[in-house]
Structures are given as C-alpha cells and as structure tokens.
Amino acid sequence: MASFRNGDHEAAGRLVELFYPELRRIAAGRMRRERSDHTLQPTAVVHQLYLELVKIKALRPASSDGADEKAAFLGLAAFLMKRLLIHHARPLSRRAEKAEVPDLPGPDSFTEHSLLEIDDVLGRLAAINPALRRVVELRVFEGLTREEIAREMGCGTATVPPLWNFARSWLEEALAGAPGL
C-alpha cells in the first residue's frame, strides 16, 4: 500500500490482484443497484477500476499505523467504482460533466436530467456542511453502517445519526421542490 501511495503503478496491479474477490463482490453489489439492461458486468467494472488506479500519481500518507490500509484501499475502490458507473451512464456528449447519484427512490426512476439535479442538490447540501454530503454518500452509495461511517469519517458513532437525519430531511425537502424529480 505504501508503494501505491507513492505512485507505483505495479503496486496498484498487485493490490487489485490481492483483493480481486472483494473488489468483484463490491462491483457486483454496485451492479445490483443499476438498471437491469446495464452493459457492464462486475468483472469489467473491476478491470476499469484497475485502469483508474494506475492513473493515480500519489496519495496522501496514511494517517494510521497501517491497520486500516485495507479498508482505505477498498473504500477508494468503491468510490472509484461509483464514479465509473456514473460516467458510464452518461451519454457521450455529457460525460465531461460531474454527476453523483444517491440511491433515493430507485435508479430506474431517474432520468439524465434528474441526475444532474440530484448532483446540484448534493452540492447545495455540501455548502451547508461537507460532512452532510459525505454521510449521504457513505450511507447511500457505499451502504455503510453507522459504525462504518463513523470510522470512515473519523468521528464518534453518536455523531452520525444527527448528520444523517438532518441530511435526509433536508434532501427530502429539497427534492420535493425540485422540478423533474
């Protein structure tokens, strides 16, 4: 992991090889939330992930003694998979724009237009407090538990529910007033 953090492209390949079963499981979980006629398969998502990982030039040094390196790598991989699926869902003419999609009513009910509106709403939520958007992403995109979210954010488990409750209420109100959603 230290080599990968320093930009070693071969280390990225070794990490993918080492954690391939877990990465494939994460990809399969993500694919279950996608539309039924999706053209990507979990294996292809993991292969695309590898191509994204080798583009990384360097990462910040580990903040721990290395005990959480596996969790950090798998979290990064899950985040990159989410971005890959979002990128793949966009038409070629719109792929330069950034859009992040929470798993709110159901992925089949969203249109391309509504995805951009959701990204805008999440951006407004982050302007209130970036931790609110992060909690939503970890809970909705990653499917993490309260304890896992607290560990990922470096806070206590008692901090997560108020953030989640506020973010959920705020998003429900914001999305209720958004046209096209």
Q: Report the C-alpha dihedral over residues 40, 44, 50, 52, rounded to 10 degrees.
A: -20
Mind giving me the DSSP string for 9-67?
A: HHHHHHHHHHTHHHHHHHHHHHHHTS-TT-S--HHHHHHHHHHHHTT----PPPSSSST
The answer to whether the pTM exceeds 0.85 is no
pLDDT digits (tens, 9 = 90+) for 40-63: 777 888 888 777 777 766 666 655
Domain residue ranges of the chain, discontinuous segments joined by +: 1-89, 96-181
CATH of domain 96-181: 1.10.10.10
pLDDT digits (tens, 9 = 90+) for 70-123: 777 777 788 888 877 777 766 544 444 444 544 444 444 444 446 667 778 888
- Residue 42 backbone phi and psi in degrees, to 5: -55, -40
